[in-house]
Amino acid sequence: NFMLTQPHSVSESPGKTVTISCTRSSGSIASNYVQWYQQRPGSSPTTVIYEDNQRPSGVPDRFSGSIDSSSNSASLTISGLKTEDEADYYCQSYDSSNQVFGGGTKLTVL
Amino acid sequence: EVQLVESGGGLVKPGGSLRLSCAASGFTFSSYSMNWVRQAPGKGLEWVSSISSSSSYIYYADSVKGRFTISRDNAKNSLYLQMNSLRAEDTAVYYCASGSYNDYWGQGTLVTVSS
């Protein structure tokens, strides 16, 4: 079993770029695809990145995903921040056939 | 348009049972695996259970194994979660989500376990 660790919170100004990390505790981050979900206050989660770096249709290209084997982590980068990006972000991967979620990161755009 | 609509939540006493449903539309339900994910008040997302498209493969989180049962009816485009022996720590919003990567999510249904 492994855990996915995310920073509790990050903040940045509109127009800037922010990166949220997701570190896998054991096993290789490259072993299983990583997904990222956005959850705005009072709303259901939506997918912003799947299969490490793929964007669903309708998700702006300001959102990008990557993995780094050297740090055994995945990252979600949001460029050109907008106030509407303020939300909780969760990474998710698989441990065999079980899903594992990170604890979530609260992004504040101020 | 893909729609997932959960129902069946409510207030139940510890030790009680509840059956959640998720009605799917806008996609070929029988071709996709389905999942239940929950979120306790003010907390993060927690995977609960998954079922393959033909119900051949079923998986549960350790926290619910032996108490919850996932099932589906492809003829009715519906997903279910039978929850027995409920505990206070099962209190959460329960979401159904489609596909291996939780492509689409429902609006959730609140389950409150309290005496």
Q: Which residue has the tokens 């982590």?
A: A73
Q: pLDDT tens track of chain A, all 110 residues?
A: 899 999 999 999 999 999 999 999 999 999 999 999 999 999 999 999 999 999 999 999 999 999 999 999 999 999 999 999 999 999 999 999 899 999 999 999 99
| CB within 8 Å: A50 and B101 | yes
DSSP lists the bridge partners of residue A49 as: A36
Nearest to B21 by CA among B80, B95, B106: B80
From CA B12, how far away is CA B108, in angstroms rounded?
17
Name every residue whose Cβ is closer than 8 Å to that of residue A68 and which is 6 or more positions away in sequence. Answer: A29, A74, A75
- Which candidate, B18, B16, B3, places its Cα nearest to that of B96? B3
Query: Quick check: B46 and A101 CB within 8 A?
Result: yes
CA distance A25 to A5: 8
Nearest-Cα residue of chain B relative to residue A93: B101
* Predicted pLDDT at A73: 98
- CB contact (8 A) between residue B47 and residue A51: no
Whole-number Cα distances in Å, B21 to A9, A58, A63, B5: 34, 28, 33, 8
Interval B24-49: pLDDT, tens: 999 999 999 999 999 999 999 999 99
Q: What is the mean pLDDT of each run of 10 residues along chain B (115 residues)?
A: 97 98 97 98 98 97 98 98 98 97 96 97
In contact, A85 and A63? CB cutoff 8 Å = no
Candidate from B45, B59, B101 with C-beta closest to A98: B59
Instruction: Please indicate whether, in this complex, the C-beta atoms of B44 and A100 are within 8 angstroms of each other.
Output: no
pLDDT of residue A23: 98
Nearest CA in chain B to A100: B47
- A contact test, residue of B56, B60, B102 with most A CBs within 10 A: B102
Of B111, B92, B96, B110, residue with least CA distance to B16: B111
Residues of chain A that touch chain B, judged by Cβ-Cβ distance less than 8 Å: 33, 35, 37, 39, 44-47, 50-51, 56, 88, 90, 92, 97-104
